[in-house]
Amino acid sequence: MSGEESQFNVQGYNIVTILKRLEAATSRLEDITVFQEEANKQKNALEASAINSTKSPQGENANETRVSVSSTPSVAAGGSATPQVNESQSEKKKSVLAFEQFIHDFVVPFVNTSGHIDPVVGESAKLFADTFVDQTKFLEIVSESKKPDMTDPILGQALAPTNEKISKINNLKDNNRRSTYFNHLNTLSESGAVFFWIGIDTPVSYISDIKDSAKFWSDRVLKEYKDKDKVNVEWVNQLSKVFDELRAYVKEYHTKGPAWNANGKPFAQAVEELNASTKPPSSSGQQERAGNTAGPPAPPPPPPASFFEESAAPSSTTGDTSEGGMNAVFAQLNQGSNVTSGLKKVDRSEMTHKNPELRKQPPVAPKKPKNLSGHPSSTHAATTTTTRKPAKKELVDGSKWIIQNFTQDDVQSPIVIETENSQSVFIGNCSDVTIQLKGKANAVTISETKKVGVVIDSLISGVEIIKSYKYGLQVIGLVPMISIDQSDEGSIYLSTESIDNDCQIYTSKTTALNVNVPEANNDFRELAVPEQIVSTMKNGELVSSIVEHAG
């Protein structure tokens, strides 16, 4: 791979990706439809200001953003004449125009800032903006049609582009977990749920809830860059403004969900008319426009990549099959009866089953495999040694306690946390410590701990223990449910209140678990949780029961 190609790969670009983006941008430009003259003038003014304000080294991302967002149905293009509309039509489209104005005033600046931070963050933000564009088309259908049946398959088809882009945003986050900007991608992934406000009866409060969910990750971005980079701080503020303005828009036009037109046309008809109006023009229309405009032609499709194509340049001698690659493999297989001509002839004296003397010799010890990484073993051992992460105890967003990386070297006394019923607690990667949770919390998660004791007053939901070893859990008040997965050698001390309320204990892949219940003499009776199950076929059905060991 050349140095230039390596540089493109480091920055996240390659030739195929650029061609696909250019092709997608050209397709969007061709799909632009004619709408209102007034809206066209507003859009042209906003796009001109956006172009002047987004000139940067990463102009490619900014250009993609402008093309994508400008592909709303309200923008006229191609020099076509814009039809006049009467006042009733203009009033009916008022909510759609307001939504388009919201996109250009608040979403476009946010996407441009994202492109300045990182190409992947910019791509995720562009999908975020494109989803708003798809929602514009849906709101136009809403303004013209009656409310359909929620089980109507046409409704699912109309919302399919939105769902597809939300899935792409989530996939970008999952495929870039090692990215420096993973918190940014998580923020956008959590924000993607806001587009489902169109199916909620109380969308205003729903948007506020999604904003709080995304704030968990945006606060991490703010904490990391607060004193280092103003661009990232502005990014967080712009996203917050997007939520606030979307909530204000929905409160004004769609307080109780999408404002369907009670006197409008059937939903299927409105969808069909919108699809017909946004259908790409015929080839003759495209040729006519090409003659009237000076726009660049569409780029050619990317060349197909052949699985059997040689990565290196072929040698000058075509008959030489010693070169590597799949061509050499097939050339050797096509030799027919000569395929074994290159095999070495083994003499009878070298055959173990023919020469008894060879069988008397001791076996040769296998060679020690080489380090595949190409480094000496000492260096390899040094690189695999991970540095210990600092201990952390903090309350995130006022709703989640995080206790991580504590050992007996960090604390000598129990860690005491005052909890509230709206707070959850996460205890992870701790060893040889005791943690006491006072008050009534919502839920507790204990993950990958060793020799950790946890004392809980009361919980609304329950406790989840995952991949822990030699753990102890004591319940003072009421805990309705305890779930244990992939954990070993645990002890649970239940309270009388939990027992009276039928506390449930779920176990999977768990060994050596004992549940201790209180007795009259202030002592505890130990009950072992079964580990072995026998399954028997009876009348064609599988019947499972616990294996009881007597004696």
> What are 485-536's pLDDT values in tens digits?
999 999 999 999 999 988 999 998 899 899 999 988 778 889 999 888 888 9
pLDDT over threshold 60, residue 465: yes
d(CA 462, CA 473): 12
Give pairs for 16-22: CB < 8 Å, separation 24+.
Answer: 16/302, 19/299, 19/300, 19/301, 19/302, 20/302, 21/60, 21/64, 22/299
Position 354 scores a pLDDT of 59
Position 366 scores a pLDDT of 53
d(CA 213, CA 240): 12
Weakest-pLDDT range from 175-184, 188-197, 228-237, 381-390: 381-390
- Listed ranges 84-88, 273-277, 289-293; the one with the highest mean pLDDT: 273-277
pLDDT over threshold 90, residue 433: yes
Confidence at 92, pLDDT banded by 50, 70, 90: very low
pLDDT over threshold 90, residue 443: yes
Position 285 scores a pLDDT of 46
d(CA 446, CA 429): 9
pLDDT over threshold 60, residue 208: yes
pLDDT over threshold 80, residue 385: no
Query: Per-residue pLDDT averaged across 99-103, rounded?
Result: 89
d(CA 496, CA 500): 6
State the chain's mean pLDDT as an integer.
75
Position 520 scores a pLDDT of 80
In contact, 427 and 444? CB cutoff 8 Å: yes
Confidence at 379, pLDDT banded by 50, 70, 90: very low
In contact, 189 and 195? CB cutoff 8 Å: no
Position 155 scores a pLDDT of 82
pLDDT above 70 covers what percent of the chain? 63
Closest by CA position to 436, among listed 469, 405, 473: 473
**Amino acid in the structure at residue 323:** E
d(CA 285, CA 4): 40
Stronger pLDDT, 180 or 316, i.e. the higher one: 180
Closest by CA position to 281, among listed 36, 139, 126, 79: 79
pLDDT over threshold 80, residue 219: yes
List Cβ neighbours of 76 (8 Å cut-off, separation of 6 or more): 32, 33, 34, 35, 36, 37, 40, 82
Residues 120-167 pLDDT 10s: 999 999 999 999 998 888 888 888 888 888 777 888 888 888 888 898
How many residues does this entry show for the chain? Answer: 551
Show the domains of the chain with their CATH numbers: 31-281 (1.25.40.330), 392-546 (2.160.20.70)
Query: Per-residue pLDDT averaged across 222-240, rounded?
Result: 89
- Listed ranges 9-23, 228-242, 328-342; the one with the highest mean pLDDT: 228-242
d(CA 396, CA 220): 9
Closest by CA position to 506, among listed 497, 495, 517, 515: 515
Confidence at 326, pLDDT banded by 50, 70, 90: low
Position 158 scores a pLDDT of 83
Sign of CA dihedral 170, 173, 176, 177: negative
Closest by CA position to 145, among listed 36, 250, 259: 259
Residues 342-370 pLDDT 10s: 666 666 666 665 566 666 565 555 555 55
- Helix pair 37-53, 59-69: axis angle to 10 deg: 170
pLDDT over threshold 70, residue 384: no
Confidence at 74, pLDDT banded by 50, 70, 90: very low
Stronger pLDDT, 473 or 19, i.e. the higher one: 473
Pairing of strands 443-447, 424-428: parallel
Q: At 441, which helix (H) or strand (E)? A: strand 431-441
Position 267 scores a pLDDT of 82
What's the whole-model pTM score?
Answer: 0.40
In contact, 23 and 301? CB cutoff 8 Å: yes
Q: At 333, which helix (H) or strand (E)? A: helix 326-333
Position 334 scores a pLDDT of 60
Query: Which residue do the tokens 């004696």 mark?
Result: 551
Closest by CA position to 444, among listed 420, 470, 426, 467: 426
Q: Give the alpha-carbon dihedral of 88, 93, 95, 101, to 10 degrees.
A: -130
Position 29 scores a pLDDT of 59
pLDDT over threshold 80, residue 204: yes
Tokens of 350: 């070298």
pLDDT over threshold 50, residue 33: no
Position 481 scores a pLDDT of 92
Query: Which residue do the tokens 């050499």 mark?
Result: 328
pLDDT over threshold 60, residue 202: yes
**Amino acid in the structure at residue 314:** P
Position 454 scores a pLDDT of 95
Alpha helices in 226-266 (DSSP H): 230-253
Q: How far is CA 184 from CA 133, 166, 211, 356, in A?
A: 21, 15, 14, 71
3-state secondary structure of 458: strand
Weakest-pLDDT range from 55-64, 207-216, 331-340, 493-502: 55-64
d(CA 448, CA 76): 58
Query: Which residue do the tokens 């105890």 mark?
Result: 393
Position 409 scores a pLDDT of 87
Longest CA span, the chain: 106
pLDDT over threshold 90, residue 467: yes
Query: Per-residue pLDDT averaged across 433-459, rounded?
Result: 93
Confidence at 42, pLDDT banded by 50, 70, 90: low
Confidence at 45, pLDDT banded by 50, 70, 90: low
Pairing of strands 541-546, 524-528: unpaired
Position 312 scores a pLDDT of 41
Q: At 125, which helix (H) or strand (E)? A: helix 119-144
CB count in 10 Å sphere of residue 106 = 19
Tokens of 263: 């006197």
Residues 398-408 pLDDT 10s: 889 999 999 98
Weakest-pLDDT range from 14-18, 48-52, 79-83, 303-307: 79-83
Position 7 scores a pLDDT of 46
CA angle 188, 191, 197 (to 5 degrees): 150
pLDDT over threshold 90, residue 426: yes
Query: What burial letters (b/e) apply to 389-419, b meaning 16+ CB within 10 Å?
Result: eebebeebeeebbebbebeeeebeeebebeb
